[in-house]
């Protein structure tokens, strides 16, 4: 039977990469990633991601809390075009309006079936 030799760790003094990175290094990586994620997937309007902030604004539009104006007309059109709807639902056992987000589904058929 062949024996497998354990190779030395590439991280001197530690067993894993996590052990080798200081708390400051982890914090820096987190902040860098967070900034990138917010810039890439934030409220820029150029993303399909619905952030908490965008969700709250959609809810205000649909409940009528945010009055129609020329400033929000483009956003109201986007909400209508996406098909967001309020409907009955339950959150934490309480009955209340919930936001229904439509999903596009494709049905494909194989030739010969």
Write out pLDDT tens, residues 87-96: 888 777 777 8
Position 70 in a domain: yes
Alpha-carbon torsion angle 25, 31, 32, 34, nearest 10: 140
Structure tokens at 62: 């649909």
The whole-angstrom separation of Cα 87 and Cα 101 is 11
Position 89 in a domain: yes
Specify the pTM: 0.54
Position 93 in a domain: yes
Position 2 in a domain: no
Pick the more confident residue, 58 or 23.
58
Write out pLDDT tens, residues 36-51: 877 777 766 566 778 8
- For residue 98, what are the domain limits? 50-102
């Amino acid at each position: 039977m062949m024996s497998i030799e354990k190779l030395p760790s590439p991280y001197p003094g530690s067993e894993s990469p996590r052990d080798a990175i200081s708390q400051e290094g982890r914090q820096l990586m987190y902040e860098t990633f967070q900034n990138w994620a917010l810039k890439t997937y934030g409220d820029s309007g150029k993303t399909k991601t619905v952030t908490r902030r965008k969700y709250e604004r959609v809810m205000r539009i649909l409940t009528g809390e945010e009055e129609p104006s020329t400033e929000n007309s483009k956003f109201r059109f986007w909400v209508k075009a996406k098909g967001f709807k309020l409907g009955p639902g339950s959150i934490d056992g309480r009955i209340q309006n919930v936001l229904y987000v439509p999903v596009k589904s494709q049905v494909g058929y194989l030739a010969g079936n």
